[in-house]
Amino acid sequence: MSLHANAAQLVTLASEGGEHGGEHASLSPLLTGGGAFLALLLLLWITTRFNRDR
């Protein structure tokens, strides 16, 4: 198979079921981003506690 034929098949496969757009209904971007932000803040706080000069 040629590169062009493979690319055409991948585009066809990716466009099937396009009504959902690949986004899961239960995943909220705000909740996911907020959780990641809080996790990073927690890691930053832990890092600064262990990195104190004595």
Q: What does the pLDDT average to over 23-30?
A: 75
Q: What does the pLDDT average to over 4-27?
A: 71
Detail the DSSP E strand segments found in the chain. none
| CA dist list (Å): 26 to 7, 32, 39 | 31, 11, 20
Domain assignments of the chain as residue spans, ordered by start = 29-54
Indicate whether this model's pTM tops 0.75: no
Q: Report the distance separating Cα 33 and Cα 27, nearest Å.
A: 10
